[in-house]
Chain A
Amino acid sequence: MIAIIFMPVIIYSNNDGAVIARSEEAKALGIGMAVPMFEVKRLMKLHNIRGFSSNYTLYGDMSKRIKTIIRTFFKNVEDYSIDESFVDCKGLEYCNSFDYIKTARDKITTWSGVPVSIGVAETKTLAKLANRIAKKQYRSIGVYIIDTEEKRLAALKSTLINDVWGIGGRITKRLNTKGIHTAYDLSLIDPDWAKANFSVVLQRTVYELRGNLCIPLELIPPGKQNIASQKSFGIYQTEFEPMAEALANYTARVAEKLRRQHCVAGGIEIWLGTNNFSKTDKQYFPSIHTICDVPTDYTPYLIKRAITGLHKIYRKGYLYKRVGVMLTDIRNASDGTLNMFSCHNRQKEITVIKQIDRINRLNGRDTVRFAQQGFTADWRMKQECLSGFFTTRLSDIIEIK
Chain B
Amino acid sequence: MQPANIKIFKVLKSNTELPIFLSTIQAGFPSPADDYLEDAISLDDICINNAASTFLGRVKGQSLKDICIYEGDIVVIDKSLQPEHRDLVICAIDGEFNAKILHLDALQGIRLLSANPSFQPIIINELTDFRIWGVVTYIIQNIKNRSHDWHY
Q: Which residues of A contact B (CB under 8 A)?
A: 1-7, 65-66, 68-69, 107, 110-113, 390-391, 394, 397-401
Tell me if A401 and B63 are in contact (CB < 8 A): yes
Tell me if B60 and A400 are in contact (CB < 8 A): yes
Chain B residues near A68 (CB-CB < 8 A): 51-52
Tell me if B131 and A5 are in contact (CB < 8 A): yes
Tell me if A113 and B99 are in contact (CB < 8 A): no
Report Cα–Cα, A69/B78, bound state, in Å.
13
With beta carbons under 8 angstroms apart, the residue of B50, B55, B79, B97 that contacts A399 is: B97
Could you list 8 A-B pairs, sorted by A, with CB under 8 Å? A1-B97, A394-B56, A397-B55, A398-B97, A399-B96, A400-B75, A401-B61, A401-B99
**Contacts known (A107-B80, A113-B79, A113-B133); A401 close to B55, Cβ less than 8 A:** no
Tell me if B55 and A390 are in contact (CB < 8 A): yes
B53 contacts chain A at the CB level, 8 A cutoff: yes
Report Cα–Cα, A113/B55, bound state, in Å.
11
B interface, how many residues as a size bin?
Answer: 20 to 34
Closest to B82 in A: A110
Give min CB distance, B107 to chain A, whole Å.
28
B47 contacts chain A at the CB level, 8 A cutoff: no
B120-152 residues with Cβ-Cβ distance < 8 A to A are: 129, 131, 133
Chain A residues near B50 (CB-CB < 8 A): 111
Give min CB distance, A256 to chain B, whole Å.
14
Tell me if A401 and B96 are in contact (CB < 8 A): yes
Tell me if A111 and B80 are in contact (CB < 8 A): yes
Report Cα–Cα, A112/B57, bound state, in Å.
15
Closest to A391 in B: B55
Chain B 55-75, CB within 8 Å of chain A: the 1/0 string? 111111101000000000011
Chain B residues near A3 (CB-CB < 8 A): 92, 95-97, 133
Tell me if A401 and B80 are in contact (CB < 8 A): no
With beta carbons under 8 angstroms apart, the residue of A65, A397, A399 that contacts B52 is: A65
Q: Which residues of B contact A (CB under 8 A)?
A: 50-53, 55-61, 63, 74-75, 79-80, 90, 92, 95-99, 129, 131, 133
Closest to A395 in B: B58
Tell me if A398 and B99 are in contact (CB < 8 A): no
Tell me if A401 and B52 are in contact (CB < 8 A): no
Chain A residues near B57 (CB-CB < 8 A): 397-400
Report Cα–Cα, A2/B95, bound state, in Å.
5
Tell me if B79 and A397 are in contact (CB < 8 A): no
Report Cα–Cα, A69/B80, bound state, in Å.
10
Report Cα–Cα, A400/B64, bound state, in Å.
11
Report Cα–Cα, A308/B55, bound state, in Å.
42
Tell me if A112 and B53 are in contact (CB < 8 A): yes
Give min CB distance, B114 to chain A, whole Å.
10
With beta carbons under 8 angstroms apart, the residue of B58, B90, B129 that contacts A6 is: B129
Tell me if B74 and A397 are in contact (CB < 8 A): yes
Find the residue from A2, A107, A397, A400 having the highest chain B CB count within 10 A: A400
With beta carbons under 8 angstroms apart, the residue of B52, B75, B96, B99 that contacts A111 is: B52
Tell me if A2 and B96 are in contact (CB < 8 A): yes
Chain A residues near B79 (CB-CB < 8 A): 110-113
Chain A residues near B55 (CB-CB < 8 A): 390-391, 397-398
Tell me if B129 and A401 are in contact (CB < 8 A): no
4 nearest A-B pairs in the assembled complex, by CB-CB distance: A111-B53, A3-B92, A68-B52, A400-B57
Give min CB distance, B133 to chain A, whole Å.
7
Chain B residues near A112 (CB-CB < 8 A): 52-53, 79
Closest to B129 in A: A6
**Contacts known (A397-B56, A398-B57); A110 close to B80, Cβ less than 8 A:** yes
Chain A residues near B74 (CB-CB < 8 A): 397
Report Cα–Cα, A258/B28, bound state, in Å.
37
Find the residue from A3, A66, A401 having the highest chain B CB count within 10 A: A401
